[in-house]
Amino acid sequence: MTMTGNEAIGEEMEMTAKIGFIGLGTMGKWMALNMLKARFPVRVYDINPAAIQFLTGQGALAAKSPADAAAAVDWLFLSLPDTELVEKVIFGENGIVQGARPGLVLIDLSTINYMLTLEIYRRLKEKGILFADAPVSGMEARAKEAKLTVMFGGDEGLFQTLKPAMDAIGNQIVYMGTVGSGQLTKLINQLLFNISCAGLAEVLPMAVKLGLDPEKVAQVVTTGTGRSFAADFFIPLTLKNRFDEGYPIKSAYKDLISAAEISAHKGIPLPLVNATAVTFQMAIAEGFGGLNKGGLIRVFEKLLGTEFRANKEAK
C-alpha cells in the first residue's frame, strides 16, 4: 500500500524526532513510556532518581539536568506540578534555556496559570524557542492506557508536526487555537469539575443528616440526573472512606486562583467558581488539603457531625 505524503512525513518524524521529557511523576512517567513504545527516542529528566531509573529500564536515555535534556533533543515535553516549577525548569539555574538551541520546540503538558503561560511564550520567543501549551485531562489510569485528552495551544502547523507524539499519549488530541488556548480550555474543564466536587461535598452530608442511607443515595446519584464524572469517581471512594486516590485539594486550588485572576483582569463575574474556592479554602484550613477532591466532603461532615459512608460508624 502506498503512503500519502502526510503519512510519509508522519512516519519519518516518528522515526527521527528526538524527544526530551522532564517530569516523571504520576502522569509524566506513563506519557514518556508511551512515547517510547511509539518508537520515539526519549531522553528523560526528573529530580527523583528512581523515576529516571524506571524509564531508562524501558529504553530511555537519562539527562543530567533540564539544560542537558534541551541540548540533545528536537522536541522537549514538560509534565510538572505547578507554574513556579515550570518557570524554574525553563529559566532557572541549569534550566532549559541554558542548553536549548534556537528552533527547539518546547511543549508544556502541565496545568499552569493561563496568564503566565502567555508570558513564558513571550520570553521564549525572544530566545528563538518555539513554545506550545498542551495540558492533558485524565487521571493516572488513562495516562497508562494512552487515552488522555490533550488540549493544544500554539501554531497550527506545529500542532500537525507534533501530533504523532501526542497520539502516543492520548486518544483525544484537540487543537484549541493560539498559545494559551490549551491552558484556558483545561481551566474551563477543571472549574466545571471542581464545582461538581464542591456540590457533592455540600449536599451529600445533608442527605445523611436528614436520615437517608448513603449507599441508596449513591445508587440514585450515580444513575440519575445528578450524575457527573465527579460523582462516579468520588462517591464510591467516599463510601469506603478513601481519600487518597486522585489529585490533592491543595494542589488543585491553583485552578481557582487562575480563575480569580482572569475574573479580576477581564471583569468576568464567576459566582459559582468563587463559592467553590471558599469550599477549597475551608478544606485546606481544616487540614484536609492533602486529600483528593472527594475529601472536600470532610468540611461539611465536620460541620454537620455526620459521615457519608457505607458503614455509618465513625472511622
182-218 pLDDT, tens digit each:
999 999 999 999 999 999 999 999 999 999 999 999 9
CATH code: domain of residue 108: 3.40.50.720
Kind and range of the H or E element at 175? strand 170-177
Phi, psi of 290 (to 5 degrees): -80, -5
Write down which residue in 120, 154, 179 finishes a domain.
179
State the 10-residue block means of pLDDT for the chain, 315 residues long: 40 67 97 96 97 97 97 97 95 97 96 93 96 94 96 98 97 98 95 98 98 97 96 97 92 94 95 98 98 98 97 52
CA distance 71 to 104: 9
If asked whether residues 146 and 31 sit together in one domain, one would say: yes
Is there a single domain that holds both residue 289 and residue 261? yes
Look at residue 14 in the predicted model and tell me its pLDDT.
43
Q: pTM of this prediction?
A: 0.85
Range of the domain at 51: 5-179
Provide the grid cell at 148. 488522555
Given 146, 179, 212, the domain boundary residue is 179
pLDDT of residue 311: 72
- 38 and 9 in one domain? yes
Residues 10 and 157 in one domain: yes
Q: Give the residue from 115, 148, 179 where a domain finishes.
A: 179
Q: Are residues 211 and 154 in the same domain?
A: no
Whether 64 sits among the annotated catalytic residues: the reply is: no
- The CATH number of residue 286's host domain is 1.10.1040.10
Q: What is the pLDDT of residue 16?
A: 67
Q: Are 305 and 235 in contact (CB under 8 A)?
A: no
Query: What is the pLDDT, as a whole number, of residue 46?
Result: 98
Beta bridge partners of 78: 22, 108
pLDDT of the residue at 246: 83
The pLDDT value given to residue 17: 87
231: in domain: yes
Of 234, 261, 274, 271, nearest to 116 (Cα)?
261
Residue 314 has a pLDDT of: 43
Cell of 289: 488539603
Task: Give yes or no: residues 206 and 162 share one domain.
Answer: no
In this prediction, residue 13 carries a pLDDT of 45
Number of domains in the chain: 2
* Residues 131 and 225 both lie in one domain: no
Catalytic residue among 37, 88, 144, 186: 186
